[in-house]
Amino acid sequence: MKVLLVGSGAREHIIAEQLSKSSELYSIMPKKHPGIASLSEETLVHDPTDSAVVGQWAKEKGVALVFVSPDGLLEKGVTDTFSDLGIPVASPSKSAARIEWDKSYARNLMKAKEIPGCPRLKVVSSLEEAREFVSELGEVAVKPIGLTGGKGVKISGEHLNSEEEILGYCSKLIEQDGSVLIEERLEGEEFTLQAFCDGNGLALMPPVQDHKRAFEGDEGPNTGGMGSYSTGKLLPFMEQKDLDDAKGIMQRTLMEMKNEGNPFTGILYGQFMLTRDGVKVIEFNARFGDPEAMNVLILLGTELSEVFLSMANGKLCPVSFSNECTVVKYLVPEGYPLEGKADQPVTVDEEGLWNKGVKLYLGSVYEKEGVTYTTTSRTAALVSKAETRQEAENAVESAISLVSGPLWHRKDIGTDELISRRMEHARRLKQ
């Protein structure tokens, strides 16, 4: 079967690897990604939003299934380009992907249908409304309505240290987007739950914990994600009830989207927080997480092309995962996340990585004349799976030196010290 993957990055690199195991892979990307290109039968380096060109190319190649990966392309309706041509697609339509690119849609759906896990919130379009609601809540999270690559949310007491700063950020977002989402600030432990969806039901993937903050000890500005870990069926601070509650929220959301004529086929990503009041929804995304895709896909026991095809046909097949632990750490360019140093050469000791049992997935890079270069964003992710989290973390950390370039990473991701703090935090909340 000929399968087309649209997108480029570390998340797409592991998707490409999985698809290439059981299908002929074709790919479309705006710049040449050396990892994905090497796995593909043919690659089209072109703007994926140019529907006439990419649609014609897919038809010429006889593509039988398409998966559009990045959130920005889902927002622009690239999935619809192929579905309009009658090609089966395993990613959400522009309308269904709205659950990510329009946060007010997601929250209004939850409120209207009384889906559990929704914090107190309000979408406001004036500074006066913002001032009134901020005064009512006290501690808040201020969120842009649209896509920001995981970097737009600012929280009082962490990023915003006074009411003046809160309102200043609200004013900026209102001017930019016409409105802003203000929510009560939640305290707890975050976790990601991803699921394959066919418009009707879902198949859960193992839960993952991401690390958004740039620096060790969860300090510094937000990023797209510096790394993540998983420990099989549950994370160390979770109970089965927490997982069941999160799954129930996702199932209800899918059902209500279908009921209103907007069925969701693709990857539904729930970002949850375990609070003293139970599981709350931080946000929904309409695609694999990055880096969380690497934690789960490296454990996948079912052929990904088979899963995608079953999703596109509306009859989701059974999906299996191994129960091993995984750790992902991102190498990022000097200056990231504020001003990452671009156009710097990166070299990889592939044999050394193989000997350590560590996988590397190239992120936001490009290839020119056989050399791989950095951009301003995350460069490469190192991933390991093992029977224990400690083994996986040690393997990744020992392999960092095998990637050369002006790069750095968070050393504490997946370590005993950091996870012990998370477990103690969750214990205090439950008490």
* pLDDT on residue 152: 84
Residue 400 CA neighbour count, 13 Å, CB half = 18
CATH number at residue 265: 3.30.470.20
Are 324 and 386 spatial neighbours (Cβ–Cβ below 8 Å)? Answer: yes
Residue 236 lies in a domain: yes
Question: What CA–CA distance (Å, rounded) separates 106 from 109?
Answer: 5
The rounded distance, in Å, linking the Cα atoms of 73 and 56 is 18
Q: Which residues are within 8 A (CB) of 133 and not within 5 positions of it... i.e. 6 or more apart?
A: 122, 124, 140, 182
Residue with tokens 């975050």: 190
Q: Is residue 378 part of a domain?
A: yes
Give the integer Cα–Cα distance in Å for 189 and 7.
31
Residue from 430, 428, 411, 409 nearest 420 by CA: 428
From residue 286, how far is each of 28, 100, 134, 268, 330 by CA, in Å?
19, 6, 29, 5, 22
In angstroms, the CA 234 to CA 211 distance is: 17
Residue 102 lies in a domain: no
User: 354 and 230, same structural domain?
Assistant: yes
Place of tokens 């190649």: 61
Please name every residue paired with 379 in a beta bridge, in sequence order, or none if there are none.
none
User: Are residues 251 and 376 part of one domain?
Assistant: yes
What are the b/e assignments for 390-429, b being 16+ CB within 10 Å?
A: ebbbbbbbebeebbebebbbbebbbbeebbebbeeebeeb
Say what the pLDDT of residue 376 is: 96
Return the CATH number at 74: 3.40.50.20
Question: How far from chain centre, in Å, is Cα 49?
Answer: 21
Rounded-to-integer distance, Cα 336 and Cα 221, Å: 10
Give the single-character DSSP code of 150: T
Tokens 């895709």, residue? 293
| In 49-135, beta strands by DSSP E | 65-68, 121-124
Read off the DSSP letter of residue 400: G
Residue 209 shares a structural domain with residue 336: yes
284 touches 106 (CB < 8 A): yes
Identify whether residues 178 and 32 lie together within a single domain: no
Q: Identify whether 105 is part of a domain.
A: no
Of all helices (H) and strands (E), which one includes residue 225? none
pLDDT of the residue at 150:
67
Q: Within a domain: residue 111? A: no
Predicted TM-score (pTM) of this structure:
0.94
pLDDT confidence of residue 85: 97
> Residue 64: what pLDDT?
98
Let me know whether 266 and 365 are in one domain.
yes
Whether 310 is covered by a domain: the verdict is yes
Q: Which residues of the chain have pLDDT under 70?
A: 150
Query: Cα(13)–Cα(29) distance, rounded to whole angstroms?
Result: 12
Of 184, 214, 236, which closes a domain? 184
Cross-strand pairs, 209: 229
Pair 400, 382: CB distance under 8 Å: yes
Same-domain pairing of 328 and 400: yes
- The confidence score (pLDDT) of residue 216 equals 96
* Same domain (yes/no): 294, 413: yes
Give domain status of residue 112, yes or no.
no
> Residue 146 is part of a domain; what is its CATH number?
3.30.1490.20
Q: How many independent structural domains does the chain possess?
A: 3
Say whether both 410 and 289 belong to one domain.
yes
Same domain, 213 and 272: yes
DSSP 401: G
- Provide the pLDDT for residue 345: 97
Dump the DSSP string for 154-213. EEBTTTB-SHHHHHHHHHHHHHHHS-EEEEEPP-SEEEEEEEEEESS-EEEPPPBEE--E
Identify the domain boundary among 159, 184, 209: 184
| Helix (H/G/I), strand (E/B), else coil: 146 | coil
Per DSSP, the three-state class of 54 is helix
Residue 428, domain member (yes or no): no
The answer to whether residues 179 and 193 belong to one domain is: no
- Chosen domain end from 93, 110, 140: 93
Amino acid occupying residue 164: E
310 shares a domain with 228: yes
287 phi-psi bin (left φ>0, alpha ψ -120 to 50, beta other): beta
Cα–Cα distance, 117 to 250 (Å, whole number): 10
DSSP code, position 90: -
Peptide bond into 116 cis (omega under 30): no
Do 356 and 244 lie in one domain? The reply is yes
The answer to whether 61 touches 26, Cβ cutoff 8 Å, is: yes
Radius of gyration of the chain (CA): 21
Residues 393 and 325: their CA atoms lie apart, in Å, by: 9
Q: Which domain holds residue 26?
A: 2-93
Which pLDDT score is estimated for 151?
Answer: 73
